[in-house]
Amino acid sequence: MRTTLFKPSPSTSPARSTPHRQTFSDTLMDENIENAQELISKWDVTHSSSLHCDVVTNLFASDNRYEAQHYLNSIKDLQIAMRYYISQDPTSDKLVLAQNLMQIAMKTLEKEFYIILKSKRQHLDPESVSRASRSSVSEDESDQEDGESRSVGEDSISEVELVSMAAMEDLKAIAECMIGAGYGKECVKVFKIIRKSIVDESLYHLMNFESRLSLAQIQKMDWEVLEVKIKTWLKAVKVAVKTLFYGERVLCDKVFSSSPSMKESCFADITREGALSLFLFPENVAKCKKAPERIFRTLDLYEAIADLWTEIEPIFDLESTSTIKQQAINSLIKLGEAALAMLTEFETAISKFNSKAAVPGGGIHPLTRYVMNYITFLIDYSGVLTDILADCPPTVPSSLPEAYFGSPMSADGMSTSAISTRLSWLILVMLCKLDGNAEIYKDAALSYLFLANNLQYVVNKVQKSNLKLLLGDEWIEKHEAKVRQYASNYERMGWNKVFAALRDANDNEMTTPQVTECFKRFNSSFEDAYNNQATWVVSDSKLRDHIKVSVARNYLSDLLFGTGVSGSNLSSSSSSSVSSVTSSSGHSRGGRSR
């Protein structure tokens, strides 16, 4: 009351300024600055070593865990104080002090960030990060189970994984603090430099050669040298995608989780160059010579990328890494086109094959062996070939019988008509070529034996490989019938004169001299046929037995083995030969499945 009643009027009171009264908020902010100053000064790196020098003790050492967290909290409090003074008194000396402290703290954190990335490198390698990430996911899942399950899950995490997880948490905490204080660029710069060197070094060791080989360098390589590099790449790409790039994506997402733009920028800048070079290599290989024998390595490259696509796509699903995904797609396209070109080149090579030399004894032609081995190897890539041929309409004549190009169903119920049509066409081209080669033989019987031998080889290859599932039983039955037809033609042409000599042997009205003359003609005809066919061969045992059973009437037990037995041995071994043929024929008939 006294103060109020006797308060002097404004007009009579002396002129003077009113001092600033410190509020409760002022007191709190001052304490924030004082506490931060004490801790920041303790770890001030500007008075010790430079940024890139190691120190005996660092803030985020295992025995300083509590103080490290306290340090980060003090920076947050310092930020609150700075914002407060900016709003209350922008010219305050305390704001200047807080700003200076913040700069010192950011230098300290930048150095701590660098030290963790360097000293914990063995625990931050992509493999360790990948394992730690998967263990973390497993631990989170086990937390949803009962207590016993959680205990088992925790025990399953190795010490290395625990160190990796702790290092990632420290990096994340520092990054969040620096980004929140407006020093994100400094943090990102350090991270990119160190991690990119690690990724590039890892790729170099995985590849065992410079992955940035140019197209010109690759095209000049001998195929044997290039094939070695392809094998190395096939092993490297699996590790690169499943471990290296995946682990780096996990690390970037973890450390910079508070800033989507920064985590994307880091991952893209760290992996882009290496990943583009890695996925460019197959495209450059696809641009090399389209020799048929290179198709298998080409399909290996295609299959490797296709199998990894479900992992490539989510790892590089960022806008800034879209070029990497596109490069992988480009390589798939070029490899597919190269494989198709090699198939076409293979077909052309079959069509242009020209050999005037007859295979001795009507045996298996080298072309037959090469083509069928080539095709049976291709079947191992049936899934890849189905994808490649899916958008490529068949170029074979549509006038061919439907039975020849049957489209059986694969194990998963999908139609394999495209690949079955293509492979059956290649076999048909080869068989047509063999028809032409059969004309080289002057003896018609031998030409038919040649065709029977080679077609039987083809059928056997189909039956003993996955070609059987692809071409189907109808295809096999049709060509087995063709083999029997060729064998029948051989019998008719090769043994007709022998059989004709015995045509009247059972005539009861024949005189003894006539019978004697008949058997003389038979012996002469048989000896001529035998000597002519002594070096002929049937490689397939079942086909050989079939022919022997069909034509055996005398002296044929040692025929068609290519032994070249001459007629001089024929008469001396007649009795044993007859009994042997009879025994062999009986055994063959009893063992046949048809």
Least Cα distance to 256 among 270, 242, 277 occurs for: 270
Rounded to the nearest integer, the mean pLDDT of the chain is 80
Give the pLDDT confidence score for residue 534 in this predicted structure. Answer: 79
Mind giving me the DSSP string for 373-389?
Answer: HHHHHHHTTHHHHHHHH
- Encode pLDDT of 286-303 as tens digits: 999 999 999 999 999 999
What is the Cα–Cα distance from 74 to 31, expressed in whole angstroms? 10
Looking up tokens 């000599």, which residue turns up?
A: 501
- From 240-244, 407-411, 502-506, the region with the lowest mean pLDDT: 407-411
3-state secondary structure 341-362: HHHHHHHHHHHHCCCCCCCHHH
Asked if 137 and 129 touch (Cβ cutoff 8 Å), the reply is: no
DSSP character at residue 593? -
Lowest mean pLDDT among 68-82, 307-321, 391-405: 391-405
Has residue 327 got a pLDDT over 80? yes
Q: What is the mean pLDDT of residues 312-319?
A: 96
**String of b and e for 382-416 (b: at least 16 CB within 10 Å)?**
bbbbbbbbeeeeeebeeeeeeebbbbbebeeeeeb
In this predicted structure, the answer to whether residue 334 has a pLDDT above a threshold of 90 is yes
Burial class (CB in 10 A: 0-12, 13-18, 19+), 227: middle
| pLDDT on residue 540 | 85
Q: How crowded is the C-beta side of 180, counted as CA atoms within 13 Å?
A: 20
Comparing C-alpha atoms, which of 357, 398, 350, 351 is closest to residue 372?
Answer: 350
| Beta strand segments in 238-369, E | none
Concatenate the DSSP letters of all residues of 490-506 into one string: HHHHHHHHHHHHTTTTT
Please list the residues that pair with 409 across neighbouring strands: 415
- Whether 248 and 126 have beta carbons less than 8 Å apart is answered as yes
Q: Given a cut of 70, is residue 308 above it in pLDDT?
A: yes
Tokens 């882009």 belong to residue: 272
Name the residue among 489, 549, 496 with its Cα closest to residue 526.
Answer: 496
| Longest CA span, the chain | 176
pLDDT at site 225: 94
CA 289 to CA 338: how far, in whole Å? Answer: 9
SS3 90: coil
Cβ–Cβ < 8 Å for 277, 233: no
* Section 404-428 average pLDDT: 67
Q: Are 203 and 278 in contact (CB under 8 A)?
A: yes
Q: Measure the CA–CA gap between 248 and 270, rounded to whole angstroms.
A: 8
Specify whether the CB–CB gap between 264 and 320 falls below 8 A.
yes
pTM score, whole prediction:
0.79
Torsion-angle region of 562 (φ positive above 0: left; ψ -120 to 50: alpha; else: beta): left
367: pLDDT strictly greater than 80: yes
> 22-41: b or e for each residue (b if 16 or more CB lie within 10 Å)?
eeeebeebeebbebbbebbe
pLDDT tens for each residue of 519-553: 777 777 677 777 777 788 888 888 888 888 887 65
